[in-house]
Amino acid sequence: MLVVAAPAGDPRPRLLTSSQTFSHLHRLTIRPAAAGAAAANSPLPTFLRFNSGSSSSSSSSKECANCHTSQPLESLSCPSCSFLQPLPSDIDYYKAMDLDVSKVPKGGWEVDAKELKRVWRLRMAVTHPDRMVGRSDKEQQIGAQQSALINRAYETLLNPLLRAQYLLDRHHAAPVSETDSLEDPELLMEVMELREALEDAGSEEEANAVREENSQFLNSSIKALADAFSSNPPDLEKAKKATIELRYWTNIEKAAREWSPNDRIEIHH
Ligand SMILES: [Zn+2]
């Protein structure tokens, strides 16, 4: 079991080669926080909001449009006729990745990255371009919608910052916004010092020193999140604070990863 860092590279190009699927992916990509904000006004309890279908809000199953076989909401293709099945746009990301959130350690926080990737591969194989040959336009469309949602669920659960925001949202906490800033003046000073050190870095060694120091802050925010979501009930105040901090470390990590001796670094917070 390991808690994962942000994905080092986008793994999609290896599996999704169809340009049509790609353009679809980009159009359909919605920030989970935005989707959560829209749902925040809903009076429904979390388990209904996240597990319900977009069209039939009280149902926990759906019916195949082709042969009318009833199947779970997260089903990708019909068990009877293998017709592709649309996923509810508000599908629970854990369910979409074949996980029972109540069985994921530390309140859903400690996802197993290897297992997540294994399920992602299986899911993406269903709508692999090779398997779409000969399918109807309708099914091609459903396939593109499926892969966009599965990709979003995968990235959200894999990436600690996105996962923290998603878990906060599941607990109805106010979303962390771009305007939320660090309250701790000492941490803010660390952020400023790390940014400056990266801007002034003239060698790979100096950039590495920034990466190493930053990863310690990043790991301590990740640990704080694990603790916050482990408590019963979860400590949402602590989780939100750690999420805001993690956003700073994640931004510095990205800039430090992209650092090269010839480019000037710009960090946006
Ligand atoms: Zn069917």
The single-letter DSSP state of residue 173 is P
DSSP β-ladder status, 61-63 and 70-72:
antiparallel
Residue 66 alpha carbon to ligand 1 centre in Å? 5
pLDDT in tens, 201-234: 999 999 999 999 999 999 999 999 999 999 999 9
Record the tokens describing residue 58, joined without a space.
């009280």
User: According to the CATH classification, is domain 12-170 in 1.10.10.350?
Assistant: no
CATH number of 185-258: 1.20.1280.20
Q: How much is the pLDDT for 264?
A: 61
pLDDT band at 51 (very low <50, low <70, confident <90, very high): very low
Whole-structure pTM over 0.85, yes or no? no
Query: What does the mean pLDDT of the chain come to?
Result: 82
Ligand 1 center to residue 222 CA distance, Å? Answer: 43
Structure tokens at 211: 């990466």
pLDDT of residue 123: 94
pLDDT band at 47 (very low <50, low <70, confident <90, very high): very low
Ligand 1: centre distance to CA 121 (Å):
23
Question: What spacing in Å lies between the alpha carbon of 149 and ligand 1's midpoint?
Answer: 21
Stretch 153-173: mean pLDDT: 97
Residue 77 Cα to ligand 1 midpoint, Å, equals 8
Q: Where are the domains of the chain?
A: 12-170, 185-258
Distance between Cα 213 and ligand 1 center (Å): 54
142 CA to middle of ligand 1, Å? 14
Per CATH, 12-170 and 185-258 having the same topology is answered no
Output Rg (C-alpha) for the chain, integer angstroms. 20
Lowest-confidence region among 74-78, 125-129, 241-245: 125-129
195, pLDDT greater than 60: yes
